[in-house]
Chains A and B, each alone.
Chain A
Amino acid sequence: MDFIAIFSIFILACFVGYFVVWSVTPALHTPLMSVTNAISSVIIVGALIASAAAGSASSKWLGLAAVVMASINIFGGFAVTSRMLAMYKKKGR
Chain B
Amino acid sequence: MDVQAILSAATGNHGAVNPYAAIAYLVSGILFILALRGLSSPATAQSGNRFGVIGMTIAVVTTMITHAPEAMVLDGDGSFVLDTVGLIEILVAIGIGAVIGIVMARKIAMTAMPQLVAAFHSLVGLAAVAVAAAAYLNPGAFGIADAAGQIFTVSRVEMGLGIAIGAITFSGSVIAFLKLNGNMSGAPIMLPLRHVINLGTLAAIIGLVAYFTVDQSPWVFWTVTGLSFVIGFLLIIPIGGADMPVVVSMLNSYSGWAAAAMGFTLHNTAMIITGALVGSSGAILSYIMCRAMNRSFISVIAGGFGADAAASGGGSKEQRPWKPGSADDAAFLMSQAENVIIVPGYGMAVAQAQHALREMADVLKKEGVNVKYAIHPVAGRMPGHMNVLLAEANVPYDEVFELEDINGEFAQADVAFVIGANDVTNPAAKTDKTSPIYGMPVLDVEKAKTVLFVKRSMGGVGYAGVDNDVFYMDQTMMLLGDAKKMADDIVKALNGGGH
Which residues in A have some Cβ–Cβ distance to B below 8 Å?
A: 1-3, 6-7, 9-11, 13-14, 16-18, 20-56, 58-60, 62-92
Among A16, A17, A31, residue most surrounded by chain B Cβ atoms (within 10 Å): A17
* A-B CB contact pairs (8 Å), 13 listed: A1-B12, A6-B12, A13-B273, A25-B41, A26-B377, A30-B384, A31-B384, A32-B384, A41-B124, A45-B266, A52-B69, A66-B127, A68-B97
Q: If A21-B36, A42-B28 touch, does A37 touch B276 (CB 8 Å cutoff)?
A: no
Nearest CB of B to A16, in Å: 6
Q: If A16-B276, A71-B98, A88-B391 touch, does A45 touch B268 (CB 8 Å cutoff)?
A: yes
Binds A, one of B233-241, B255-263, B418-426, B442-450: B255-263
8 Å CB contact of A62 from B36, B94, B134 = B134
Q: How far is the CA of A44 from the CA of B274 in the complex (A)?
A: 12
Nearest CB of A to B413, in Å: 19
Nearest CB of A to B396, in Å: 4
For window 198-252 of chain B, which residues contact chain A by CB distance below 8 Å? 248-249, 252
User: Are B383 and A39 interface neighbours, CB within 8 A?
Assistant: no
Q: How far is the CA of A64 from the CA of B95 in the complex (A)?
A: 12
User: Are B134 and A59 interface neighbours, CB within 8 A?
Assistant: yes
Which residues in B have some Cβ–Cβ distance to A below 8 Å?
A: 10-12, 14, 17, 22, 25, 28-29, 32-33, 35-37, 39-43, 45-46, 48-49, 52-53, 55-56, 59-60, 63-64, 67-72, 83, 86, 89-90, 93-98, 100-102, 104-106, 108, 110, 113, 116-117, 120-121, 123-124, 126-128, 130-131, 133-135, 137-138, 140-142, 154, 248-249, 252, 255-256, 258-260, 262-282, 284-285, 288, 375, 377, 380, 382-385, 387-388, 391-392, 394, 396-400, 402
Residues of chain B with a CB closer than 8 A to A10's CB: 260, 263-264, 272, 275-276
8 Å CB contact of B110 from A40, A84, A86 = A84
Q: How far is the CA of A25 from the CA of B63 in the complex (A)?
A: 34
User: Are B392 and A87 interface neighbours, CB within 8 A?
Assistant: yes
Q: How far is the CA of A42 from the CA of B279 in the complex (A)?
A: 14
Residues of chain A with a CB closer than 8 A to B400's CB: 27
Nearest CB of A to B15, in Å: 11
Nearest CB of B to A11, in Å: 8
User: Are A48 and B64 interface neighbours, CB within 8 A?
Assistant: yes
**What secondary structure prevails in chain A residues at the interface with B?**
helix
Residues of chain B with a CB closer than 8 A to A24's CB: 36, 39-40
Q: If A2-B12, A27-B400, A37-B121 touch, does A63 touch B45 (CB 8 Å cutoff)?
A: no
Residues of chain B with a CB closer than 8 A to A9's CB: 269, 272-273
Residues of chain B with a CB closer than 8 A to A81's CB: 49, 52
Residues of chain B with a CB closer than 8 A to A92's CB: 396
Nearest CB of B to A10, in Å: 5
Q: How far is the CA of A13 from the CA of B281 in the complex (A)?
A: 11
User: Are B278 and A40 interface neighbours, CB within 8 A?
Assistant: yes
8 Å CB contact of A28 from B60, B101, B387 = B387
User: Are A75 and B60 interface neighbours, CB within 8 A?
Assistant: no
Residues of chain B with a CB closer than 8 A to A48's CB: 60, 63-64, 67, 90
